[in-house]
Chain A
Amino acid sequence: MQTRDYRSQFWQGVRDLMPLVSGVLPFGLIVGANGVALDMSPELIMGMTVLFFAGSAQLAAMQLIQENAAFVVIVLTTIVINLRFAIYSATFAPLFYPLKKRYRLPFAYILSDQAYGLCIAPDQQQRSDAERISYYLGTAVALLVSWVLSVILGIAVGASIPPEWMLGFTIPLAFLAMLMSTITNRLLLIVAIVSGLAAIFMQGLPYNLGFILAIVTGVIAGLVLPRLAGRSFNSVMGRPHE
């Protein structure tokens, strides 16, 4: 009886993830096809996909590999892009910490933006721990499977795309589209402009260090500007209580 409830929660999670596949599929196609365009073997692309399991970091790494960036710069970039997972990790910590290691470790691996987004919904918060874990597994496993399949499809399609199509330009366009969805107030817009301009001016620095420095410049601008304007960070961000 109880097992049935958990199973239904699992499938509920799978069903809730399905609409998000429309966002995952083109992203996976781009990652797979760009890997092929970079002359990476299918095994290498799939190995990268499984090791990262983080699309935006993987795409950023591919762009930096194309630009001959230094090893350390690529690792740093990946870490900076994936720092958001620390927030998700903190969100799920009360739920997963009491579990045995053999569950906790794989549960951490399948953590994703999409699973986080679905599991923090208010109606999920009211359920029992076991139901919430079942629902999490449904969303996270469904995302993992659809992500891997999308990349495989991208590898299959990528081999037949001629270079005149300038497929590589899909990478900055994808980041631009993601950028637009993260800009939700004026401070974040200023941070994006400062960081983008800094990245242009520091392009000539060796090892693509300009990229890391541009991010630092943007974040510092975002921390300092509210103070110069005599307002608190939280009020500028529209977060009264946090």
Chain B
Amino acid sequence: MNDLTLWGLFFVCGLSTYLIRLSFIQLHGKLGPLLAKCQPVLLLLPPAILAALCIPPIVFSKQNDGLQVELAQILAGCVAIVLANYFKSLLWPILGGMTFLWGYRWLIG
């Protein structure tokens, strides 16, 4: 995408995000029943979105001749999962996973 398309994309995304934030504050009371109906979906969305975002790029890397399974990245992901269970901050799982990945590449190549 060129810069102009990107600006357009970010504007549309930003506007949609703002309208979601404004929704109930602006239309107070009119959307209440709708929200109650959607509650189960809204509760299920976070793990569904985050898993769909992170699992494929951890398991595979994109090569010129297609997808390749990346053992080092999968193991780094496991390290991050273990650290995420001990620390609340995002810093430690990310740092631990990256450190493992660097170490693995350095040792095994």
| Bind each other | yes
Interface positions of A (Cβ within 8 A of B): 22-23, 26-27, 30, 40-41, 44, 47-48, 50-54, 57, 60-61, 63, 65, 67, 71, 74-75, 78-90, 92-94, 96-97, 104-105, 107-109, 111, 165-166, 169-183, 188-189, 191-200, 203, 211, 214-215, 218-219, 222-223, 233, 237, 242
Q: Tell me if A85 and B59 are in contact (CB < 8 A).
A: no
A23, B89: Cβ atoms under 8 Å?
Answer: yes
Beta-carbon contact of B47 and A188 below 8 Å = yes
Residues of chain A within 8 A of B11, CB atoms compared = 51
Cβ-defined contact, A85 with B17, below 8 A: yes
Contact B5 A83 (CB under 8 A): no
Cβ contact within 8 Å between B17 and A26 = no
- Roughly how many angstroms separate A208 CA and B89 CA in the complex, as a whole number? 30
**Known A89-B22, A196-B52, A199-B56; contact A52-B13, beta-carbon cutoff 8 A:** yes
For A65, A67, A222, the residue with the greatest tally of chain B CB atoms inside 10 Å of its CB is A222
- Given A182-B47, A215-B45: A177 in contact with B94 (beta carbons within 8 A): yes
B48 within 8 A of A: yes
Q: Which of A44, A47, A74, A179: most chain B CB closer than 10 A?
A: A179
Residues of A within 8 A of B101 (CB): 166, 169
Interface of A, secondary structure class, is: helix
List residues of chain B with CB under 8 Å of any chain A CB.
1, 3, 5-7, 9-18, 20-26, 28-29, 31-32, 35, 39-60, 62, 67, 73, 76-77, 80-81, 83-85, 88-91, 93-94, 97-98, 101-102
Q: Nearest 4 CB-CB pairs, A to B?
A: A51-B14, A218-B48, A196-B55, A175-B54
Given contacts A51-B11, A108-B18, A174-B90, contact A214 B25 (CB under 8 A): no
- Nearest CB in chain A: distance from B16 CB, A: 5
**Chain A's nearest CB lies how many Å from the CB of B26?**
7
B4 to chain A, nearest CB (A): 10
Q: How far is the CB of B99 from chain A (nearest CB, A)?
A: 11
5 A-B pairs in the complex with CB atoms less than 8 angstroms apart: A23-B89, A53-B14, A82-B17, A104-B26, A191-B47
Alpha-carbon gap, A75 to B1, bound state (A): 14
Residues of B within 8 A of A44 (CB): 3, 6-7, 10
Flag if B53 contacts A180 (CB, 8 Å): no
Question: Contacts A176-B58, A176-B80: A80 and B94 contacting too (C-beta < 8 A)?
Answer: no
Selected contact of B21 from candidates A47, A88, A173, CB within 8 Å:
A88
With contacts A22-B89, A170-B98 known, what are 5 further pairs, Cβ within 8 A?
A63-B57, A65-B1, A173-B94, A196-B51, A215-B45
Cα–Cα, bound, A181→B80 (Å) = 12
B47 touches A214 (CB 8 A): no
